[in-house]
């Protein structure tokens, strides 16, 4: 609007100068040139602005505005519309060719150029009226090529470009939150990785059950206390029942005792009483009419040596039956058999009978 105002002011000034020229122009006869021009171009102010423009500043604001509006739509028409004016507008052609090459195909450019040419000719319908008209359209294309038209054309061509789609895919890729571009690590992965803990918790169940089972299973055994009747002792190394069995199985094991005659002895209670395991003698005991030397078995007795020797020099049948009647006495002490138990009377009578025979 500012340029239009300035243009109108200049036009009015030119119009005033034209109708009321100064005396200096009339005296020297210089005003002759404006007269023919006025005859050829009566109405349009733009054509009148051309002479004032040459006399004034180079930019020529009014012509620029008029051409500016037209240049936004079809700036290319000027380059091809005036082939004879190409000499005066070398730079103008380059700028317009760039715009046409960038935006529209050659057929479209030709159509626009033809329409532009018709517009430039306007109502006068004269192809190349005067140098003033020729110069008038020339400057506008130069300036619009520098600032306004390219910006509008470029802006229109750059409107759709890629930056927006770049931002959208990132947001879409991130997914849920529009602002959360820094939220790629999603808790879902964490939630998907949390099953191990659940598995761990699942593994925790067995321990509890095992502890319960262990407690339940160990409770009876742990709580179980040896009864008062159980008086087993810890045997020394090499004195287990198997060791005794191995020793008894050997021939000439000498388990009956050293210095005894072969065969079974007739042992009276008095004799048995003297074999109590004291003073270097073996401990004998009787069970069901048989006399056994228990001294070799004493270290192997599970109830201990003291318990076993409680029956030394006497009959152990009562004690044995009270403690462990299930034990196989003969199977353990077969090799320890000394003789048979006989009464005193029987032994005395037998001795008397032998003396009588002599
Ligand atoms: C004087 C006679 C005896 C006495 C006082 C006596 C005493 C004992 C005692 C107190 C126990 C421990 C029982 C327990 O803790 O449950 C025991 C175990 C045993 N005694 Fe005797 N004992 C005698 C004679 C014998 C004889 C002559 C033999 C072999 C023929 C023998 C073989 C055993 C055996 C094999 C055991 C282990 C039983 C088991 O594992 O349950 N005992 N005895």
The tens digit of pLDDT for each residue in 240-274 reads 999 999 999 998 899 999 889 989 999 999 999 99
Q: How many CB atoms lie within 10 A of CB 204?
A: 10
Looking from the CA of residue 230, the nearest atom of ligand 1 is 15
Question: Residue 176's pLDDT is what?
Answer: 39
What's the CA-to-centroid distance between 324 and ligand 1, angstroms? 6
Ligand 1, atom 9: closest residue by C-alpha? 303
Beta bridge partners of 341: 267
Q: In degrees to the nearest 10, what's the CA dihedral of 212, 217, 222, 225?
A: 140
Ligand 1, atom 16: closest residue by C-alpha? 230
Whole-structure pTM over 0.95, yes or no?
A: no
Element (H, E) at 340: strand 337-341
Q: Where are the alpha helices (DSSP H) in 122-194?
A: 131-135, 139-146, 148-158, 163-174, 187-193
Question: Residue 49's pLDDT is what?
Answer: 42
CA max distance for the chain? 213
Q: Is residue 330 within 8 Å of 287, Cβ to Cβ?
A: no
Give the distance from CA 336 to its chain's centroid.
80
**Helix, coil or strand: residue 1:** coil
Nearest alpha-carbon partner for 301 in 241, 213, 219: 241
**Helix, coil or strand: residue 287:** strand
In the sheet that holds 314-315, the strands lie side by side as: 265-267, 337-341, 290-293, 284-287, 314-315
Question: Residue 88's pLDDT is what?
Answer: 54
Question: Residue 230's pLDDT is what?
Answer: 77
What's the CA-to-centroid distance between 231 and ligand 1, angstroms? 9
Q: DSSP labels for 12-62? A: HHHHHHHHS--HHHHHHTTTTTHHHHHHH--S-HHHHHHHHHHHS-SS-HH
Element (H, E) at 262: none
Question: Residue 92's pLDDT is what?
Answer: 56
Q: CB under 6 Å to ligand 1: residues?
A: 230-232, 294, 301-303, 307-308, 310-311, 316, 319-320, 323-324, 327, 329, 332-333
Q: Is residue 93 within 8 Å of 141, Cβ to Cβ?
A: no
Ligand 1, atom 43: closest residue by C-alpha? 303
- CA 287 – CA 25 distance, rounded (Å): 176
- CA 293 – CA 337 distance, rounded (Å): 6
Task: Work out the burial of residue 274: count CB atoms within 10 Å of its CB; fewer than 13 is exposed, 13-18 middle, 19 or more buried.
Answer: middle
State the Rg of the chain over Cα.
Answer: 71
284-287 vs 314-315, strand pairing mode: parallel
Q: Is residue 283 within 8 Å of 313, Cβ to Cβ?
A: yes
- CA 137 – CA 141 distance, rounded (Å): 7
**Token pair belonging to 282:** 């073996």
Q: Is residue 312 within 8 Å of 236, Cβ to Cβ?
A: no
Give the distance from CA 280 to its chain's centroid.
85
What's the CA-to-centroid distance between 321 and ligand 1, angstroms? 10
What's the CA-to-centroid distance between 304 and ligand 1, angstroms? 8
Pocket test for ligand 1, best of 294, 309, 323, 332 (most atoms within 8 A of CB): 323
Residues in the chain where the model's pLDDT stays below 70 = 1, 24-229
Q: CA 117, 121, 126, 130 torsion: positive or negative?
A: negative
Ligand 1, atom 3: closest residue by C-alpha? 308
């Amino acid at each position: 609007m500012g340029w239009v105002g300035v243009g109108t002011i200049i036009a009015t000034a030119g119009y005033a100068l034209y109708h009321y020229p100064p005396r200096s122009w009339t005296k020297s006869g210089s005003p002759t040139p404006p007269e023919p021009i006025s005859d050829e171009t009566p109405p349009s102010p733009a054509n009148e602005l051309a002479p004032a423009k040459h006399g004034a500043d180079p930019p020529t604001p009014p012509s620029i505005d008029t051409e500016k509006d037209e240049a936004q739509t079809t700036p290319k028409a000027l380059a091809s519309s005036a082939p004879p004016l190409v000499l005066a507008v070398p730079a103008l052609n380059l700028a317009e060719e760039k715009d046409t090459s960038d935006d529209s195909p050659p057929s479209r450019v030709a159509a626009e150029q033809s329409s532009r040419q018709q517009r430039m000719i306007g109502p006068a319908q004269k192809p190349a009226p005067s140098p003033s008209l020729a110069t008038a359209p020339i400057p506008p294309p130069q300036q619009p090529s520098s600032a306004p038209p390219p910006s509008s054309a470029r802006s229109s061509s750059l409107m759709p470009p890629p930056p927006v789609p770049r931002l959208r895919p990132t947001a879409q890729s991130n997914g849920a939150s529009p602002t959360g571009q820094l939220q790629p690590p999603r808790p879902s992965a964490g939630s998907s990785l949390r099953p191990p803990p659940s598995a761990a918790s699942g593994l925790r169940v067995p321990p509890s059950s095992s502890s319960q089972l262990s407690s339940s299973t160990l409770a009876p055994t742990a709580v179980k206390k040896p009864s008062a009747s159980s008086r087993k002792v810890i045997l020394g190394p090499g004195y287990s029942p198997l060791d005794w069995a191995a020793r008894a199985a050997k021939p000439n094991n000498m388990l009956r005792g050293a210095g005894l005659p072969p065969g079974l002895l007739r042992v009276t209670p008095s004799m048995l009483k003297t074999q109590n395991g004291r003073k270097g003698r073996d401990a004998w005991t009787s069970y069901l009419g048989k006399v056994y030397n228990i001294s070799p078995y004493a270290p192997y007795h599970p109830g201990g040596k003291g318990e076993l020797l409680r029956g030394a020099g006497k009959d152990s049948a009562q004690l044995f039956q009270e403690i462990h009647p299930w034990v196989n006495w003969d199977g353990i002490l077969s090799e320890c058999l000394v003789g048979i138990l006989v009464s005193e009377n029987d032994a005395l009578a037998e001795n008397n009978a032998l003396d009588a025979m002599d």
